[in-house]
Amino acid sequence: MASVSVRKETNTLYLDFRYMGKRCREQTTLKPTLANRKKLEKLLVLIESQMLAGTFRYAQHFPSSKNAAKFADQELQLHDPSQWESKQKELVAPTFEEYIWPWFERQKISWRQSHIVNIESMIQKHYLPFLGERKVDSITRNDLLKFRSALAKVPGRNGREGLSNARINKIMDPLKRIFEDAAEEFDFITPYIRIKQLKSAKTDVEPFTLKEVNYILANVREDYRDYYLIRFFTGMRTGEIDGLKWKYIDFNKRIIKIRETIVAGEEDITKTESSIRDIRMSPPVFDALKRQQVHTARYGKFVFCNREGEALNHNNVTKRVWYPLLKRLCLEKRRPYQTRHTAATLWLAAGESPEWIAQQMGHSNTEMLFRVYSRYVPNLTRMDGSAMEKLLSEKLEIKHA
């Protein structure tokens, strides 16, 4: 399939197409703007129409290309269009490296930036060293299983001897789509068959009790107290609270509008469509945001930010503030994401409606709520947030002047 792609080294566009059963890539000096892409896409349409008519001559379009001389003799011999068409069908499968980058360029338009970065990293770090020089149609199921076994020997995080099964599964999953697409384009049977995911341990839900929440808020650094208070009582994901902007805070209606997130330092759209939601402010959250407004509203963008007005670096905050705090308080080490689980379980303990909680959490329905938090579900009757407010007003110990 012909395409217009970007050469990363020069940030310029190039044409990627097939002619005489061979893959051709012709570099341009054009920058990857919308207008330049449309210009080259029109050229590709012309080239493909000329190929079908048997009138395409390489040198007419790319006179300076080395390919022009290579194809010259063959073009002279193609007097019969049917003979030319037959030649075109003699597709030669590329190597994995030749195939993967055009495939990546075609797919990334529909991906979030964080996913693009993740896939590109897997291509460079894992796919190419093991599969890069192999022809895509020569790679077998056994090769993929050997690749998976090799991943288990790659050093993992925090001094682990190998990657976790969960991480291996995430690296293997894109290969299924890659080989399905390659098999369809070059007419071979995909080798990604009967390859099941490795079993991996599920991350436990370990919410904090309200007593522990009070203990944490009483002892955390003053400049992060409201940050964690809002995390505990809104259920926002890390990227959602770190990417929260003042323009999405409506004090009149007492709602927090979740419209954007921040992942790997990049502003992005929310995780899913259902993640776009309005979170109702409880009185403690309302008061915390009012206090925060005094400190960061002058920067004009992020609710929580550094001294330069930029979004917080969650890895830095976790390592310098969160984990040392839990250690100092002799509390079990838990990821900051457990603050989200805490909000859900507190809402459930307060007797809020599952539908209301799911909406506040950004779930499309209550299925995940019951599956993840089933042991925390009491008899539920209300659906307006009032029970949570009552619980906090009676038991939340942190008070501010």
> Is the pLDDT assigned to residue 380 strictly greater than 50?
no
Task: Give the Cα separation of 58 and 42 in Å (integer).
Answer: 16
Read off the tokens for 67.
């390919």
Q: Mean per-residue pLDDT for 164-178? A: 94
pLDDT value, residue 308 = 87
The secondary element (H helix, E strand) that includes residue 261 is: strand 260-263
Range among 17-21, 66-70, 169-173 rated most confident: 169-173
Tens digit of each residue's pLDDT (9 = 90 or more) over 333-346: 999 999 999 999 99
The percentage of residues in the chain with a pLDDT greater than 90, rounded to a whole number, is 58
Q: Mean per-residue pLDDT for 160-171? A: 88
Q: How many residues does the chain have?
A: 401
> Which residues have CB under 8 Å from 147's CB, separation 6+?
126, 130, 131
> Is the pLDDT assigned to residue 379 strictly greater than 50?
no
Type of residue found at 179: F
Q: Mean per-residue pLDDT for 105-117? A: 86
Task: Give the Cα separation of 42 and 387 in Å (integer).
Answer: 61
Higher pLDDT, 329 or 54: 329
Query: Is the Cβ–Cβ distance between 282 and 390 less than 8 Å?
Result: no
Within 10 A of 121 (CB to CB), how many other CB atoms are there? 11
Query: Is the Cβ–Cβ distance between 124 and 164 less than 8 Å?
Result: no
Higher pLDDT, 115 or 127: 127
* Three-state secondary structure call for residue 63: coil
> Is the pLDDT assigned to residue 112 strictly greater than 90?
no
Tens digit of each residue's pLDDT (9 = 90 or more) over 20-49: 878 889 999 999 999 999 999 999 999 988
Give the residue carrying structure tokens 């920067």: 299
> Is the pLDDT assigned to residue 141 strictly greater than 50?
yes
Alpha carbon of residue 374 to chain centroid = 28
Q: Mean per-residue pLDDT for 314-325? A: 95
pLDDT value, residue 26 = 93
Query: Is the Cβ–Cβ distance between 286 and 181 less than 8 Å?
Result: no
Task: Give the Cα separation of 163 and 219 in Å (integer).
Answer: 36
Read off the tokens for 112.
């979030």
Taking the alpha carbons of 327, 329, 334, 337 in that order, is the dihedral positive or negative? negative
pLDDT value, residue 88 = 52
pLDDT value, residue 269 = 76
Can you point out the beta strands (E) in 224-356? 249-250, 255-258, 260-263, 266-269, 277-280
Task: Give the Cα separation of 282 and 394 in Å (integer).
Answer: 13
Tens digit of each residue's pLDDT (9 = 90 or more) over 186-245: 888 999 999 999 998 777 789 999 999 999 999 999 999 999 999 999 999 999 999 999
pLDDT value, residue 272 = 74
pLDDT value, residue 91 = 58
| 305 beta partners | 311
Mean pLDDT of all residues in the chain? 87
Task: Give the Cα separation of 171 and 391 in Å (integer).
Answer: 44
Higher pLDDT, 81 or 162: 162
CA angle at 374 for the pair 370 and 380, rounded to the nearest 5°: 75
